Structure 1
Amino acid sequence: MSDSSPSRGAASWRPSISIVDHIHIDDAGRALTEPLRNDIRLLGTILGDTVRTHSGDDIFELVEGSRKDAFRIRRGELDRDKLADRYTDIDIAVAMPIIRAFSHFALLANLAEDIHRERRRRIHVRAGDPPQVSSLANTYAALAKAGLDDAAVGKALADATVVPVITAHPTETRRRSVFEAQHRITDLLRQHLRQDPTPEEDAAIIEGIRRQILILWQTALIRLERPRIEDEIRTGLRYYDAAFFEVVPKINTQVRQALRAAYPAAGITDDPMIRMGSWIGGDRDGNPYVTDEVVSFSTTMAARTAIGHYLEQLEVLGQEVSLSTRLTVPYDELYALTGSSPEDPSADEPYRVALRHIRSRLAAKATAMFGEDVMRTSDLYLVDGSAPYDTADELLVDLDIIDAALRANHDEIIADDRLRTLREGVRTFGFNLYGLDMRQNSDMHEEVVAELIAWAGVHPDYASLDEDERVALLSAELTSRRPLIGPDAELSELATKELAIVRAAAKAVALYGPEAVPNYIISMCTSVSDMLEAMILLKEAGLFDPNDGSPRSTVRVVPLFETIEDLQQGAATILAALEVPFYRKLVQSQQGIQEIMLGYSDSNKDGGYMAANWALYRGELDLVEAAKKAGIRLRLFHGRGGTVGRGGGPSYDAILAQPPGAVQGSLRITEQGEVIAAKYSEPVKAARNLETLLAATIESSLLDVEGLGDDSESAYRDMDEIAALARSAYSKLVHETPGFVEYFTTSTPLSEIGALNIGSRPSARKQTTAISDLRAIPWVLSWSQSRVMLPGWYGTGSAFEQWIDGDETKLATLRRYYEEWPFFTSVMSNMAQVMAKSDMGLAHRYAQLVPDEELRDKVFGMIVDEHERTIDMYFKITGTDDLLADNSALKRSVYNRFPYLEPLNLLQIELLRQFRAGEDSPRIRRGIQLTMNGLATALRNSG
């Protein structure tokens, strides 16, 4: 490794080794990726032709020259300064098409990579290769090999639930028009892949791609104004029509059938294993724009989307199922459903009559909930005076009658098509579509509850009470049905707003069912009183009922343990809560399940990558033990972001890396930003990624995947020591280095994230410069944009080096953990992925934005030293000299197209320099925003 030290300073530092020198592509790898490179060349050529035609030869030459120079930089044939100099003082009118060209290329390259993954999977299937790891087929084979009996499977998968929870993200600002153009290009590429086209057909496909790329080029990638929460809600709903309505019901059906066939006595229920969740519109932690109107909008739009989909499917089904009683056997229950008779000539097509009746009742429900003009329906299928369904279960009962009629007539092949998907969809999505989680910070709860208690005359100064006194007071209120306030209470703006929000949630539950708002999450939860304060608000809204000593609530209270200290104390907090008599009764009434959310983001920001990952693992071990001790069931909700610094990385590996007993058939996990588009923007990708979540959950619930055996306690002790060393190294930079916050804010686009209308949520919870108050997304996003990727690795190299301290036995121990322990393997693999995306050469140029030269030299020097040390230790522990030896897909991406990021980074730096020098024009702002969006698209998991 190169000898880099802080004393040399950022001004004189030059990288002696490029990151691609740590990524090796052999001839076999190049041969496997040749089809991908062909697709990228095709798309790049068409994009280049489009740029030349519509922006002129001069712009095309600038783009093409930048592209060639970027690859020359990667090959070591050109100094990065040469390309950067080309952009110095560049006019925004010239910069903008270059930014747009490389942003579009990143988007198109993503599509090509997705198609290439499909191509590789098809090759493996056709070759008769074993099922791919992380597929359900592989999982079923692993279960069969383990020889599990039906009872064990039934117990482990009782109430099995996997819930991806969609959340908003500031870099996912693509407009629907862009989204749809991507879909069309993907479909055309898929035609190119799967067909053996004639020359004429191939020309037509290429012409179609050319047309869509032209549309894309002339369509604005991002909105001009800051997106509102309503925009983010609509963006989240977009994925249902794009993929979820088609894919989720099919997977739920398939996994149920497969498990029942293999374990007929396991008692696998009809309950869907995959359900959907959302935070968009309910998460008000640090977001002042979430109001009661927003909660109503989110839940109403979700219900409209679900019911609108059912109405459309019923109409299509009615057109398809034209079976006549002259050619089929009459089914009495079918006539009973509609009140008709086989002798009635108008009932000659009884399935159509029944579907018309069902659709009329559903349309009546929609009209009752949303108004006359909201749901568009066809008069052909409406019968005046139809009684609306009360619940989705009633709709399902009627659909089941049609299913039974078809099967009685040996028409299973019809029943198993659209009707089965619709029935499973109703079972999965209900009338609510998704469960909207509510979330607020514990500090806000304390302030509001103190005001309510003072207004009611219960205690004048709640904040002065210690924890035991608070718990006693809150418990007394939560065992009494008496409300604290009446309708005429004069409250502060904060208390009025918070109560209005929770009451809006109660209204949604009344309208759309208890699944509409299933959870209330408490951010920065540190105590039992934090949990009970949230319940006071639920009680005031009618969502919690003391019920004369038998408390009940359809909304679960979910503590979120975020910082390292909170994770370490989480088990004690839960055990203390369960010692409160009424709370234990409440948990027992909720199937004996206590859900707990684990925060990956703030723990990382608090203590660094290795310390946070180990705190989460240790915290889960403690929570599992606490649940056993208390006699309850544990459900964990993983607050993972897209990037490794926020818990990201391959989902399958991450789930298998959980400690024993932590999954237990249930998993909730957040999905954010570009990761949502990468995973769920169309059916093929959505099916693969949802299958991965299910496969890992089932394996973790039924198989011993930790792999440590009797060595677990010694491994835990070793990691305790390593994590402490890593946290110390991280804190030395982030929390103890004078001026670090200034370095961070000036060497990254942090301040511009807040200023450039990126996302509806402010970048900080409070108006402060403290790292602790900064939201995790801008913290990670800023380091990603500047290509430092600090949250995904800093402190780990020092920890390994200090812990090993030249002892070959300790090095051998870590090598064994890497080979045998999924947790350690996952941590190391994810870190390597981050470091493969980092670039200290580009980071060096961002460092030049720091005005204070002494501070710049000191902090950047520390970062470079630790970066090289971490790579060195990774190679020693893994025994490889390739950062991506275990991730061929990412290796292809980094090697083949990361040079295209070079112009985006260099132009972002130049525009940041101009912006901070006072060039505050709308086009400069938009250019910076476009570079952020382009880099986020290219990196795919940047925030």
Structure 2
Amino acid sequence: MQQQERLEEFKKSVQNKFNVYNSLFLNLPYRNIENVGMLIPLLMDQSQKGLQSGLNPKEIIEDFFERFANLDTEEERIDFMFRIIQYVERQVVLYDSVEDAAFPKIHKHSSSLSLKDYFQLVEKNNAWDSIADKLDNFSARIVLTAHPTQFYTPAVLDIITNLRTLILEDKIDEIDVALQQLGLTSLVNAKKPTPLDEAKNIIYTLRNVYYDAIGDMYAYIKRSAGSRGFENHDIVKLGFWPGGDRDGNPFVTADITKDVMDELRITLMKCYYNDLKRLQHKLTFREVQDPLNKLRANLYKAMFDPTKDVGYEDIIGPLQQIRAALIDKYHDLYLKDLDLFIDKVKIFKTHFATIDIRQDHSMHTKVMNAVLVKNGFIKEDLNELSESKLIDILLNEKLSLVPDDYKEDIVNDTIKNVSQLVTIQAKNGEEGCNRYIISNSEDVFSILFVYALFRWCGWADKKITFDIVPLFETMKGMDNAEATMQQLFNLKAYRTHLANRGDKQTIMLGFSDGTKDGGYLKANWSILKTKEELSAVCDANEIAAVFFDGRGGPPARGGGKTHRFYAAQTNKVANNEIQLTIQGQTITSTYGTKEQFIYNSEQLLTAGLSNTILGKEITISEDSRALIEELSELSFEKYDALKHHENFMPYLENMSTLKYYTKANIGSRPGKRGNKAKLELSDLRAISFVGSWSQLKQNVPGYFGIGTALKYLADDGRFDEAKTLYNEVPFFQALMMNSMMSLSKCYFELTSYMRENEEYGDFWQILHDEYELSKKMLLELSGMEILMEKETISRESIKIRENIVLPLLVIQQYALQKIGEGNAHKALYEKIVTRSLYGNINASRNSA
């Protein structure tokens, strides 16, 4: 019943409204493109019919030009295709705006557990006493990354915000004007953004959405707790990667990190100043004027001058003074308004969001090699030292590192950055930057190299006020993780460091490279097993394990439905906090408005809280574990064979949009690690890897191998075991449902012409066969008639979005075909491919 109500609301508030505004948009008269809008629906129809009847993109586009467009020269046709791309991009923006505006209405009919539902359950079960401690200590950390999977500029985000408001009020004339503005506003960066640009784009959302959303959410929890009291200002925390994430990005320097920290602090001061200004209109009483005026003057200076430090005590002190005066002398008037502001200050302090430093272990190895050569411990290479001798140097030698003492820039900048972290903490507070994450951690040195860098860059024998966080993402890293952590815990110096950090060890797992390395099922199963093993080893050493999940966005990047993921964790996994990365289109689609942010944050909190508080304990039996293990190995064998196929990398390089990601002004980070002449999978960034499969509408990393694994069980007469697994193990069901989402976004008809390609036809067929098999086996496993049968809204949204971008994708494939022929206008066709990336990626929101 609820699903039917949601579907009806979706059709009324999203589908119908989009159709109305889209018709308005397609008839707007822009210079030189009067007929383009009217021809888009026709091109969409021709694309659908043509692909279904077996025509290839080249045949579809050329037939369209001859029959409908009256464009004779190739130059005119190319110009027309650019116009189509511009229109389709803006249709995606319009659809985003309509869907976002409808979000509160649709989710009124949701069966998901909100905080309100949760507190009602607590009340009903008379469980306040049992949850009080958990509520006071639990935390969800949402870490925003700069990974370029969505590209709206602040100007476009402003238009979307305006459109959402106008759509809610059905102001058709003003919507008309806003759509004209959208048509004339560039959606594409004129040049590659710098890491500071990327940071500012996300800080825009912090200021305009999260500042108030977290404050309101905290106030609601506080009210719900009532007289029991609630003082957990860390219940929802913001993390931040832009400006701190160096992994594979040579443009993130020590200076960039400092500039981003300043930007975060200054923006927060602007938020505080605006709140204080509004409060001052209400707090007109004599006794509070002095502290109010002084605080306002201090905040005003801090808003514009990064050198003007206003510490946490400088803000909270005057506010507490004002609060005491309201209680003592002014009958608590406007106390609730003041308390809301005070709570925001206690939540965000002077940092707004905690910036994480991240770097790949290979870079730290370079740094350590250079340092130990310069200081005479080795001649050329770290391998000259035994493991025990190297550990002894890292833990006990007293060195003092100075930036600019070395030949390599990466060595100097790493030392400069670690050295400046003391100053950054002094300005933004310790919470402003207190974690250092090491990508591709595979052994104890991943952590100890960073520990030594802190010792030698200003901390010496002082307490290191940073959590050192290994990121185990490869299969090898996860296999070694338990032994690595036990070896660390056995080291007295590191154990003392952990004691100084509250006996907590944060460990990051997965991220995008896990799926790229091990395939979808094996990567995710390995992550769960590794979490269980690490929970046990931490528990045995009396350490609280905190897991930080690199969730990515779509299932192919290790993502998928976030609340489903956390609700399916077993009781063997430590549940002290929920921490996850949010990026690109997931930031705007899942956490982009106040309503969305609150709803999805509540999902995180209720998933984490209900698992341990209301008796909802999830276990996986030994038989079920053995079956998941078997399936993961079978699926990995199939995926691994594909990875090692001689055409795997050439297919991506020559038949997909892979090489065009580096040409697009999408993100500041290069498309691959290092600068080897020959492209290798290990060097390939997951963004461009997964994105290229997505542009082909093949989504290989999200399902490849699952069909083969399930078919093996069916052929062995054991398919009922798989069905029982699906019905009884939430973790396995969550993975299969995420894979169905990946499959639902596939459209092999777009590239079916490739089966005739002499070089790559057989490889395309391998992909298509596994797609068909996976779809067939997953439908049989789930008992569903169609993919995502029980996720009606997501399914309908995907369908509409895929239809919007179909003309763009056909044009993209047409351009790739023309490039393959060696066309005289090759440079223009390459530009078409590059420009066509944006709309398709922006449309692929339904991922978290």
Q: Is TM-score (shorter-chain normalized) higher than 0.5?
A: yes
Change (3 A) 1:732 1:142: farther
Q: Deviations over 1:491-543 (max 9, x none)?
A: 5333112111222333211222111211000111111112110112222322x
Task: Look up the match of 1:358.
Answer: 295
Change (3 A) 1:53 1:812: same
2:175, 2:32 → 1: CA distance? 19
Deviation of 1:366 (Å): 5.7
Q: Deviations over 1:661-713 (max 9, x none)?
A: 535231211111111111233222222222222222222343454544xx522
Q: Which runs of 5+ in 2 are unaligned?
A: 66-73
Q: Is the 8 A contact 1:561 1:567 kept in 2?
A: yes
1:248, 1:39 → 2: CA distance? 30
Change (3 A) 1:628 1:91: same
Change (3 A) 1:774 1:367: closer
Task: Look up the match of 2:119.
Answer: 140
Task: Look up the match of 2:624.
Answer: 715
Change (3 A) 1:773 1:145: farther
Q: Deviations over 1:279-319 (max 9, x none)?
A: 10111111111111111111111111111221222122212
Change (3 A) 1:360 1:847: farther
- Give the secondary-structure state (helix, strand or coil) at the position aligned to 2:218: helix
Task: Look up the match of 1:869.
Answer: 773
Q: Is the 8 A contact 1:750 1:779 kept in 2?
A: yes
Question: Which of these residues, 455, 461, 465, is aligned with residue 546 of structure 1?
Answer: 461
Task: Look up the match of 1:21.
Answer: none
1:888 aligns with 2:809: no
Question: Which of these residues, 96, 111, 122, is aligned with residue 97 of structure 2?
Answer: 111
1:300 aligns with 2:259: no
TM-score (norm 2): 0.92
Q: Which amino acid aligns with 2:626?
A: R
- Give the secondary-structure state (helix, strand or coil) at the position aligned to 2:582: strand
Change (3 A) 1:896 1:526: closer
Task: Look up the match of 1:290.
Answer: 252
CA RMSD of aligned residues (A): 2.7
Change (3 A) 1:40 1:576: same
The aligned runs of 1:56-95 (5 Å cut-off) are 56-70=33-47, 72=49, 83-86=60-63, 91-95=77-81
Question: Which of these residues, 231, 234, 238, is aligned with residue 197 of structure 2?
Answer: 231
Q: Is the 8 A contact 2:401 2:457 kept in 1?
A: no
Task: Look up the match of 1:182.
Answer: 160
Change (3 A) 1:816 1:898: same
1:120 aligns with 2:102: no
Q: Is the 8 A contact 1:748 1:846 kept in 2?
A: no
Higher-Rg structure is: 1
Q: Which amino acid aligns with 2:701?
A: P
1:413, 1:643 → 2: CA distance? 48
Task: Look up the match of 1:879.
Answer: 783
Deviation of 1:438 (Å): 0.5
1:207 aligns with 2:173: yes
Q: Is the 8 A contact 1:518 1:554 kept in 2?
A: yes
- Give the secondary-structure state (helix, strand or coil) at the position aligned to 1:779: helix
Q: Deviations over 1:535-561 (max 9, x none)?
A: 12222322x4434xxxx2211100000
Q: Size of the alignment, in residue pairs?
A: 833
The aligned runs of 1:932-943 (5 Å cut-off) are 932-940=837-845
Deviation of 1:26 (Å): 9.5
Task: Look up the match of 1:555.
Answer: 466
Question: Which of these residues, 448, 452, 455, is aligned with residue 371 of structure 2?
Answer: 452
Deviation of 1:818 (Å): 2.0
State which drifts further: 212-221 or 247-256: 247-256
- Give the secondary-structure state (helix, strand or coil) at the position aligned to 1:520: strand
Deviation of 1:259 (Å): 4.0
Question: Which of these residues, 477, 488, 491, is aligned with residue 577 of structure 1?
Answer: 488
Q: Which amino acid aligns with 1:753?
A: Y
The aligned runs of 1:470-869 (5 Å cut-off) are 470-477=390-397, 482-485=398-401, 489-542=405-458, 544-547=459-462, 552-705=463-616, 707-708=618-619, 712-735=621-644, 737-768=645-676, 769-807=679-717, 810-845=718-753, 853-869=757-773
Q: Is the 8 A contact 1:103 1:930 kept in 2?
A: no
Q: Which amino acid aligns with 1:838?
A: C
Q: Which amino acid aligns with 1:276?
A: L
1:268, 1:31 → 2: CA distance? 36
Change (3 A) 1:47 1:133: same
State which drifts further: 92-101 or 921-930: 921-930
- Give the secondary-structure state (helix, strand or coil) at the position aligned to 2:371: helix
1:727, 1:566 → 2: CA distance? 17
Change (3 A) 1:146 1:85: farther
Change (3 A) 1:398 1:166: same
Change (3 A) 1:311 1:154: same
Q: Is the 8 A contact 1:156 1:664 kept in 2?
A: no
- Give the secondary-structure state (helix, strand or coil) at the position aligned to 1:755: coil
Q: Is the 8 A contact 1:226 1:758 kept in 2?
A: yes
Q: Which amino acid aligns with 2:40?
A: V
Q: Which amino acid aligns with 2:631?
A: I
Change (3 A) 1:154 1:611: same
Deviation of 1:79 (Å): 8.6
Q: Is the 8 A contact 1:657 1:706 kept in 2?
A: no
2:46, 2:331 → 1: CA distance? 63
Deviation of 1:929 (Å): 3.4
Q: Is the 8 A contact 1:726 1:798 kept in 2?
A: yes
Q: Is the 8 A contact 2:545 2:576 kept in 1?
A: no
Question: Which of these residues, 147, 153, 166, is aligned with residue 144 of structure 2?
Answer: 166
Task: Look up the match of 1:36.
Answer: 14
Q: Which amino acid aligns with 1:402?
A: I
1:919, 1:412 → 2: CA distance? 77
1:924, 1:76 → 2: CA distance? 26
Q: Which amino acid aligns with 1:92?
A: I
Q: Which amino acid aligns with 1:511?
A: K
Deviation of 1:74 (Å): 8.8
2:754, 2:382 → 1: CA distance? 48
Q: Which amino acid aligns with 1:658?
A: Q
1:841, 1:732 → 2: CA distance? 24
1:27, 1:400 → 2: CA distance? 48
TM-score (norm 1): 0.83
2:418, 2:5 → 1: CA distance? 60
2:825, 2:418 → 1: CA distance? 41
Q: Which amino acid aligns with 1:912?
A: L
State which drifts further: 581-590 or 932-941: 932-941
State which drifts further: 312-321 or 66-75: 66-75
State which drifts further: 492-501 or 233-242: 492-501
1:49 aligns with 2:15: no
Q: Is the 8 A contact 2:238 2:353 kept in 1?
A: yes
2:14, 2:838 → 1: CA distance? 24
Q: Is the 8 A contact 2:512 2:552 kept in 1?
A: yes
Task: Look up the match of 1:406.
Answer: 326
State which drifts further: 56-65 or 663-672: 56-65
Deviation of 1:633 (Å): 0.1
Q: Which amino acid aligns with 1:857?
A: G
Q: Is the 8 A contact 1:278 1:434 kept in 2?
A: yes
Ranked by relative contact order (alpha carbons within 8 Å, sequence separation 6 or more), the top structure is: 1
Q: Deviations over 1:853-897 (max 9, x none)?
A: 344122111111111110111011111112111211112113344
- Give the secondary-structure state (helix, strand or coil) at the position aligned to 2:760: helix
Identity, in percent, stands at 24
2:771, 2:64 → 1: CA distance? 28
Q: Which amino acid aligns with 1:728?
A: E
Task: Look up the match of 1:928.
Answer: 833
Deviation of 1:27 (Å): 12
Change (3 A) 1:458 1:281: same
Change (3 A) 1:398 1:30: closer
Q: Deviations over 1:769-820 (max 9, x none)?
A: 111111111111111111101110001111111134342xx32232223223
